[in-house]
């Protein structure tokens, strides 16, 4: 235990909740803050991250995270199907993204970028706490990429128009239940198709890991080793009388890493709450472009110029920082991570990066930012949320995200 950090973590948690409740203008904003706190905490405590699914597999040979993400995708999609079956589609802001060349290019660019920066759109928020130099540089250039991509997103047919669409979302994309008719059987068909896609990814992941083990190139991942050791300790540990006020209890409640499965379950719960209360899925990257625009305004650029270049309404850049719901949620992710790390007593600084590393982080951020505009979303906006919303685009994005991640890791190794 690190009592100083532990006490500070509790103080930060209490302060964020109290001041959030007092200062945020609406209940919706406060709820977004709470969602962000939960997401940041779950991602950190469970050592989860979308970028890690590819990077861990390529660098260490482990596909455990990829398999856990498939479990998370399927369960969330089933829960979402239950909401949509019993409600009106028009009541929900579903992310049925276009299927086009932009989706392919965006997936490749985002995969490349996340291999260079070792994080993604949500991961850069958690990494601001755990690895500030890498995440800070990545975030600046990520935000630049999103802002530069705004006019492309609103004007290029390869990004706006879809090659395929279905009856419920004409000219938008493919809503998988439409492939199976209507009613209950349509949603059952979409769920079975989701399970099939996830099963293919799991099968290929297991085959890949087995091949790495057989060839002697499986190196493992430190965080996964720590999680496995904890699981083995819990199995062999003798049952002791429960004591509320003791180090062992504190360690179990706040320090011991969660399994990736536990972290995934918590994210599923939070995603479900998000859909039930806001009728929207999880997004993260668009605010980064807004932040970049606000930064330009601080440097003296007029709001009219910022908005005209981005081909976005002026109000997008004049809305106060803490009155934008996704911005508040992203800040919550940072604070949730900080609280988790402090309660675990693991807060520390890292700064030993070469100029080459810094250049890769910048390039990674820029590629991810631009990629989100081509694909109409990031790891959550083009991958997790569309898959949960039963959009075919999410699975296509996954294929090219993985492809880009593999190619990016190859390039990074040779740079």
On average, the pLDDT of the chain sits at 94
- Break the chain down into helix, strand, coil percent, rounded to 5: 75, 0, 25
Residues 6+ apart with CB under 8 A from 35: 270, 273, 274, 329, 332
The per-residue pLDDT for 73 is 98
Parse the chain into domains and list their residue ranges. Answer: 3-211+244-414
> Over the stretch 167-215, which tens digit does the pLDDT of each residue have?
999 999 999 999 999 999 999 999 999 999 999 999 999 999 999 999 9
Q: For position 242, what pLDDT does the model report? A: 65
> Which band of pLDDT confidence, cut at 50, 70 and 90, is reported for residue 34?
very high
Q: Is the pLDDT of residue 32 over 90?
A: yes
pLDDT band at 8, cuts 50/70/90? Answer: very high
Burial 113-143 (b: 16+ CB within 10 A, else e): bbbbbbbbbbbbbbbbbbbebbbebbbbbbb
Separation between Cα atoms, residue 160 and residue 174, nearest integer Å? 14
Q: Which of 23-37, 46-60, 245-259, 354-368 has the lowest mean pLDDT?
A: 245-259
- Asked if pLDDT for residue 238 goes beyond 60, the answer is no
pLDDT on residue 313: 97
Task: Say how many C-beta atoms besides its own lie within 10 A of residue 265's C-beta.
Answer: 18
Mean pLDDT of 45-73: 94
Structure confidence by residue, pLDDT tens digits, 270-318: 999 999 999 999 999 999 999 999 999 999 999 999 999 999 999 999 9
pLDDT exceeds cutoff 60 at 233: yes
pLDDT greater than 60 at residue 403: yes
CA atoms within 13 A on the CB side of 380: 22
Reported as a single tens digit per residue, the pLDDT across 124-169 is 999 999 999 999 999 999 999 999 999 999 999 999 999 999 999 9
Residue 240's pLDDT band (cuts 50, 70, 90): low
The predicted structure's pLDDT at residue 237: 59
Which pLDDT value is given to residue 383?
A: 97
pLDDT of residue 227 exceeding 90, the answer is no
Q: Predicted confidence band at 235 (pLDDT cuts at 50, 70, 90)?
A: low
């Amino acid at each position: 235990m690190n009592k100083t950090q532990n006490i500070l973590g509790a103080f930060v948690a209490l302060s964020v909740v109290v001041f959030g409740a007092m200062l945020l203008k609406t209940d919706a904003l406060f709820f977004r803050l709470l969602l962000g706190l939960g997401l940041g905490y779950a991602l950190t405590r469970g050592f989860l991250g979308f970028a890690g699914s590819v990077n861990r597999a390529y660098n260490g040979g482990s596909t455990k995270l990829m398999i856990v993400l498939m479990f998370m995708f399927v369960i969330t999609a089933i829960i979402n199907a239950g909401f949509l079956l019993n409600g009106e589609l028009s009541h929900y802001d579903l992310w049925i993204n276009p299927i086009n060349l932009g989706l392919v290019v965006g997936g490749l660019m985002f995969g490349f970028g996340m291999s260079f920066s070792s994080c993604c759109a949500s991961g850069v928020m958690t990494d601001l706490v755990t690895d500030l130099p890498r995440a800070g540089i990545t975030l600046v250039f990520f935000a630049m990429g999103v802002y530069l991509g705004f006019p492309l997103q609103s004007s290029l047919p390869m990004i706006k128009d879809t090659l395929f669409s279905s009856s419920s979302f004409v000219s938008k994309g493919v809503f998988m239940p439409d492939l199976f008719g209507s009613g209950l059987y349509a949603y059952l068909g979409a769920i079975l198709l989701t399970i099939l896609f996830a099963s293919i990814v799991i099968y290929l992941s297991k085959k890949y890991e087995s091949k790495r083990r057989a060839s002697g190139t499986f190196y493992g991942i430190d965080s996964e080793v720590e999680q496995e050791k904890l699981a083995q300790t819990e199995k062999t540990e003798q049952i002791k009388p429960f004591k509320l006020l003791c180090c062992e209890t504190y360690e179990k409640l706040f320090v011991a890493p969660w399994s990736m499965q536990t972290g995934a379950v918590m994210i599923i719960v939070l995603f479900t709450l998000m859909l039930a209360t806001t009728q929207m899925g999880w997004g993260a990257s668009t605010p980064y472009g807004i932040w970049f625009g606000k930064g330009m305004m601080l440097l003296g650029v007029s709001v009219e110029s910022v908005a005209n270049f981005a081909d976005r309404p002026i109000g997008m850049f004049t809305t106060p920082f803490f009155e934008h719901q996704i911005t508040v949620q992203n800040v919550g992710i940072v604070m949730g991570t900080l609280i988790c790390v402090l309660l675990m007593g693991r807060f520390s600084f890292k700064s030993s990066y070469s100029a080459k590393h810094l250049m890769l982080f910048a390039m990674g951020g820029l590629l991810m930012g631009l990629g989100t505009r081509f694909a109409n979303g990031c790891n959550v906006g083009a991958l997790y949320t569309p898959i949960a919303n039963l959009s075919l685009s999410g699975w296509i994005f996954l294929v090219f995200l993985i492809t880009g991640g593999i190619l990016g890791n190859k390039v990074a190794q040779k740079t």
